Amino acid sequence: MKRTIAGVSVGWIGLSVVGDGVPSLLLPHQLLQAGAADATRLGLITLAALALAALAQPIAGSVSDRIGRWPVIAAGVALAGAGFVLLVTPGGLVRGALVALVGTSVAQAGHQPLVPDRIPSGWRGRAAGWKTACDVGGAFVGFLLLGALLGAGQVGFAVGALGLLLAGGFAVAVVLLRATPRISMTDGSDGTGGWSRPLGSIVAARFAFLLGIYVLGRFLVLFIAEGQHLNADDAAAQGGLVLAVLTLITVAASPPAGWLADRIGHGPMQLAGGLVAATGIALVPLAAGLGVLLGAGALVAIGSASFSSASWATMTDLTPARHAGRLLGLANWGTAGAAAAAGLAGLLIDAGERLLPGIGFTATFMLAAVASCIGGIVGWRAARVEAGPATSRAGAVA
């Protein structure tokens, strides 16, 4: 089972490197270099790219339910590769980001159903913990690597690293899972296609919680650049360092959080994660220096590990394997939708900054904290509704 868990988790490294690195570091850096970086422009570009990525995912997921996971993953990686080529083409920044993020979303549509395909219900908290560790670990690698390369002005090497990590992660997954059979499951044949009210509530909870997290991550480089009066390279380097440290904490906390979620329940872990992360987000605009910023971010990281591990475990428990590609693609609207909607916060930031310098970031981050807190509460309530049936299934499989 350890080999299987590793196989369904490792692909998230490359997915996260691209999905987090492009909108949070590469795009802000390139816009700052071009002298065209404001929160509104960055927000609208990422909104368009991530909204298209979210719309593509359930379609690609449905295809993977019919023809298999690996062909869809391969098609997504190839499409993302075309986007990487555009990223280093003069005038191709926006188009390249759009194609790369849509391709990454297609690859994710084939990859994420591997959990209900291969992992029994009683192991899904632990699998979710390792999935979160690899997911956030990819963000750590991306922030650290891209921050260093962009700080040195090596844009071409940065984009090449994105492609290698995305393709390499899936190559390792193929090797680890080639001898692992799919679990035979017959649930979800009741005419509803497997969709349920608890699953919808979990999606809503993920949207609210991750909206707060993505708002913080999306505009952190601009927040640092404006607050400390740094140029593009220095802001990207420092922002990448901060994000890398925070994601490293999340990586370390995720496997224990998944293990704990299997024992005390998915709902309490989501509630605790929402409250802790919200506290950290609210402290970020009050940080007077790098040390305080890292301390606030550590709370965000621990809260993210707790919420994400428990939420993903609950969602996969609620997803029948025969519809997993389509349902998880739809459910990912909670994640990708939050990532897209976070771009709208740029309008609020710029409007606030025109009224009073500093108020735009402060007000926006406080609202982000409220969103994450609401996500934790909704996730806790949704998991309570499902606790009885999910526990029964887990005991039956284990």
| CA 146 and chain centroid, separation | 17
Q: Is 176 helix (H, G, I), strand (E, B) or coil?
A: helix
- Residue 362 sits at φ, ψ, to 5 deg, of -60, -50
> How far is residue 257's CA from residue 164's CA, in Å, rounded to a whole number?
30
pTM score above 0.85: no
Render each residue's pLDDT in the chain as its tens digit; 398 residues: 778 888 888 888 889 888 888 887 888 888 777 776 567 787 788 888 878 888 888 899 889 888 888 899 999 999 999 999 998 888 888 889 899 999 999 999 888 888 777 877 667 777 777 887 888 777 777 777 887 888 788 888 888 988 898 998 899 888 888 767 666 444 443 444 556 677 788 889 999 999 999 898 878 877 877 767 767 677 777 777 777 778 788 888 888 888 888 888 888 999 999 999 999 999 988 876 677 878 888 999 999 989 988 887 787 777 766 666 777 777 777 777 787 788 888 888 888 878 877 788 889 999 999 999 999 999 898 877 655 443 333 333 32
DSSP line for 205-260? HHHHHHHHHHHHHHHHHHHHHHHHT--HHHHHHHHHHHHHHHHHHHHHHHHHHHHH
The pLDDT score that the predictor gives to residue 368 is 93
Q: The CATH number of 2-179+195-397 is which of 3.40.1080.20, 3.40.50.300, 1.20.1250.20, 1.20.120.140?
A: 1.20.1250.20
The answer to whether the CB of 178 falls within 8 A of the CB of 3 is: no
The pLDDT score that the predictor gives to residue 250 is 83
* Tokens representing residue 190 in the block: 């009741």
The answer to whether the CB of 365 falls within 8 A of the CB of 285 is: yes
> How far is residue 119's CA from residue 126's CA, in Å, rounded to a whole number?
10
* Tokens representing residue 326 in the block: 């389509």
The pLDDT score that the predictor gives to residue 393 is 36
* Tokens representing residue 293 in the block: 């910023």
> How far is residue 33's CA from residue 154's CA, in Å, rounded to a whole number?
13
Domain boundary assignment for the chain: 2-179+195-397
